[in-house]
Chains A and B, each alone.
Chain A
Amino acid sequence: MKPVFVTKISNVVAWLAAFEALKSRGASESCLMLVDGEPGLGKTRTAQWWGVQVGAIQVRAKQGWTHSWCLQDLYEATSGKPATTKSTSALFKMLCDALTERQVQAQRTGKTVVISIDEADHAVAGGKDVVEAIRDITDTLEIPTVLVGMDRVAKRLNRYPQVASRISQKVQFKPLSLADVRSVISTVCEVEVKDDLIAFTHRACGGYTRELKEAIASIERFGLRQSGAAVGVEAMRGQTLLHDRATGAPMVVG
Chain B
Amino acid sequence: MEPLLQALSAADACLTLDELEAATGLAYRQMCRLLRATLLAGWVKRADEGCYCLTPEGRDALANGTPLPPELVPATRHAARADTMMARLWTAMRTAERFCRADLIQLAAKDEDDARRLDGAARIYMSRLRSAGYLVRLQGTVRVNPTTRGQTRWRLAWDTGPLPPRPQHGAGQRVFDPNRSRVYSPDALVGPA
Would you call A58 and B95 a contact (CB within 8 A)? yes
* B154 vs chain A, min Cβ distance (A): 15
Measured between beta carbons, the chain B residues less than 8 angstroms from A79 are 161-162
Q: Is the CB of A5 within 8 A of B82?
A: no
Q: Does A3 make an interface contact (CB < 8 A)? A: yes
A224, chain B: closest CB distance, angstroms: 5
B79 pairs with A108, CB closer than 8 A:
yes
Distance between Cα atoms of A55 and B83 in the complex (Å): 9
A45-87 at interface with B (beta carbon < 8 Å): 48-49, 51-53, 55, 58, 79-81
Number of A-B residue pairs with CB-CB distance less than 8 Å in the complex they form: 78
Report if A111-B82 is in contact (Cβ < 8 Å); known contacts: A2-B115, A79-B161.
yes
Interface-forming stretch among A33-41, A97-105, A172-180?
A97-105
* A220 CB, min distance to chain B CBs, angstroms: 5
Q: Is A221 an interface residue (CB 8 A)?
A: yes
B132 to chain A, nearest CB (A): 17
Q: A98-127: which have CB < 8 Å to B?
A: 100-101, 103-106, 108-109, 111
B residues 160-176 in Cβ contact with A at 8 Å: 160-163
B75 lies within 8 A of A217 (CB): no
- How many residues of A are counted as interface, with CB atoms below 8 angstroms from the partner's CB atoms? 31
Tell me the complex Cα distance, A100–B70, Å.
8
* Chain B: minimal CB distance from A113 (Å): 12
Name, among B79, B112, B147, the residue most crowded by chain A CB atoms within 10 Å (CB to CB).
B79
By a CB distance below 8 angstroms, the chain A residues around B95 are 48, 51-52, 58
A62 to chain B minimum Cβ distance, whole angstroms, is 13
Interface SS majority for chain A: helix
Within B109-157, which residues are at the interface with A (CB < 8 Å)? 109-112, 115, 119, 143-147
Report Cα–Cα, A49/B88, bound state, in Å: 11
Asked whether B92 lies within 8 Å of A80 as measured between CB atoms, the reply is no
Residues of A contacting B67 in the complex (Cβ-Cβ under 8 angstroms) = 97
Contacting pair B79 A3 (CB below 8 A): no
Interchain nearest-CB distance for A44 vs B (Å): 10
Cross-chain contact A80 with B160 (CB below 8 angstroms): yes
Contacting pair B146 A217 (CB below 8 A): yes
Name the one of B82, B115, B146, B147 contacting A3, with C-beta atoms under 8 angstroms.
B115
B38 contacts chain A at the CB level, 8 A cutoff: no
**What is the CA–CA distance of A5 and B115 in the complex, to the nearest angstrom?**
10
**Is A5 a contact partner of B109 (Cβ separation < 8 A)?**
yes
Which A residues between 158 and 204 are near B, CB-CB below 8 angstroms? Answer: 187, 190
A4 near B: Cβ within 8 Å? yes
Binds A, one of B16-24, B39-47, B99-107: B99-107
How far is B98's CA from A67's CA once the two chains are assembled, in angstroms? 26
- Chain A interface (Cβ < 8 Å from any Cβ of B): 1-5, 48-49, 51-53, 55, 58, 79-81, 97, 100-101, 103-106, 108-109, 111, 187, 190, 217, 220-221, 224
Report, nearest first, the 5 A-B pairs whose CB atoms are least far apart.
Answer: A80-B161, A3-B102, A3-B105, A105-B79, A221-B146
Can you list 27 A-B contacts with CB-CB less than 8 angstroms, sorted by A residue number?
A: A3-B101, A3-B105, A3-B106, A4-B111, A4-B115, A5-B107, A49-B106, A52-B88, A52-B91, A52-B108, A53-B110, A58-B95, A80-B162, A81-B161, A101-B73, A103-B70, A104-B71, A105-B75, A106-B79, A108-B75, A109-B82, A187-B112, A190-B146, A217-B146, A220-B145, A220-B146, A224-B147
